[in-house]
Structures are given as structure tokens and as C-alpha cells.
Amino acid sequence: MNYLMYAVILILLLIFIKETIHKLHGLFVIIFFFVLLYFLLSMLAIPFIEQLLSYASTVPYVPQLVYSALFYQIGLFFQSLFDEEEYGTFGELVMFSVRIVLLIYWTSEFAKVLTNFSSILEKLQ
């Protein structure tokens, strides 16, 4: 319920700023977006993910998959923010960077599995 009140207060502030200081409205929207994103991640998303991971802790690679999905969704949020402000190139750069980071991470994870698998195969010979 508190989050709903915060959202209503933020909307009212944004409307007030838009009507009084129209030139700074875009800047305040971006600031409020990051404040709201911080609250949503720190108060709702991360505790939910930690609870979800505690239930599925025995299944391999579940934490990595969940954090990869969260990282990808945050990248999509930033891409849509840049696209809305007509900086589509920066949005594409953000998503390209997110994809590269995830690819590097999963390549290293896959390399660990392949080394374990190859050591098992060498022991069988």
C-alpha cells in the first residue's frame, strides 16, 4: 500500500512540474524513474527473487538463469527509456552491452561444464 501512495505522490509531483516548469519535466521524469526503479528492485524484486531461489536451490543453474533474466529485463527498461527520449542508438548500445555481458558469463559457465565433462570422458578411456 505504501508503494501505491509513493506512486500517486510522484505522479502528482510530475504533473505539477509539467505545468509549472515544462522545460525541466523530462529531467525530473528520468530522476523519478530511477528512484522508482530503485524502490521496486530493492523492496520488491530482489526479495522475491531471493525467496524464489531459496525454493529452487537444489536445481542447478536456476540462480544464474533468474539473475540473467532480471539483468536482461533491466536492459530492456533502459532501452525503452532511451527510445522514448529519442536516443535509440544509446538504447541499442545498452542492449548490445547486456547481450555481450550475458554471453561472456554463460560462455564461462559452459566452459566449466565442458571441462568437467571432458575430465569424465578421459577417466572412462
For 58, list phi and psi in degrees, rounded to 5: -85, -20
pLDDT at residue 85, as a whole number: 77
pLDDT at residue 97, as a whole number: 92
Domain coordinates in residue numbering, the chain: 1-57, 59-124
d(CA 106, CA 34): 28
For 61, list phi and psi in degrees, rounded to 5: 70, 10
pLDDT at residue 1, as a whole number: 62
Cell of 64: 544464474
d(CA 80, CA 9): 23
10 Å Cβ neighbour count for 36?
14
Cell of 117: 565433462
Residues of the chain with confidence (pLDDT) below 50: none
pLDDT single digits (tens) 90-119: 889 889 999 999 999 999 888 988 898 888
d(CA 56, CA 20): 50
